[in-house]
Amino acid sequence: MTRILPLFTVRSASEEDVMAIVDLAKEAQTEIAQFRGHERLLEVWTLTEQQWATAINSDKNVVLVALSSMSIVGYAKGDIDVKGAICTVGHVFVDQQARQLGIGAGLVGEIARVAKSKGCQTLDAIALPGDRKMKNLYERIGMPARLLIASKNL
C-alpha cells in the first residue's frame, strides 16, 4: 500500500514556537533589506520575543507556523483591524530550503480561513516595491494589488 504524506502542515503558533519564529524573522529581515521601503516596514515589523508571545495569544492577531519534516520552516502573521473587518497579512516568510512547496500559499490561505471565522470581510497583504516573489505569491492565490502607497520623507 502506497501512502502519500503531506509535504508540510500549517497550524496556529504557540508560545513554544516563539524562538523559531524569531529566528525565521531575522532571516526575513535580512532578505527584505534589498527592497525599497524596508526601513519603514522594519520599524513596525521587528518584534521581540515578548511581542511575538503577546501576538500569539491575542484575538487581534493570527500567527501561524508551517512545519515540514517536524521542523518549523515558515511563519505568517495577520493583524485584525479595530473594527474587525480587515485582516492584514504583514508577515509571510518561508525558509529558502523549503520554498516552492506551496507553504506561503498555505500560510496565507489559513490566515484567510481564520480571519473569516473571526468575522473579517477583507484580507489585505503587504509587499515591498520590487519584491516580485511576494507579489507573485499573492497574485497566484487570487490577491491582485489594489493599492499602492507612495511616500516621501519631509
11: three-class secondary structure by DSSP: strand
* Residue boundaries of the structural domains of the chain: 9-140
The pLDDT profile of the chain, 154 residues, written as one tens digit per residue, is: 566 557 899 999 999 999 999 999 999 999 888 888 788 777 777 788 999 999 999 999 999 999 998 899 999 999 999 887 999 999 999 999 998 889 999 999 999 999 999 999 999 998 888 888 999 999 999 998 877 777 667 8
CA gap 139, 117 in Å, rounded: 23
CATH code assigned to 9-140: 3.40.630.30
The answer to whether the pTM exceeds 0.85 is yes
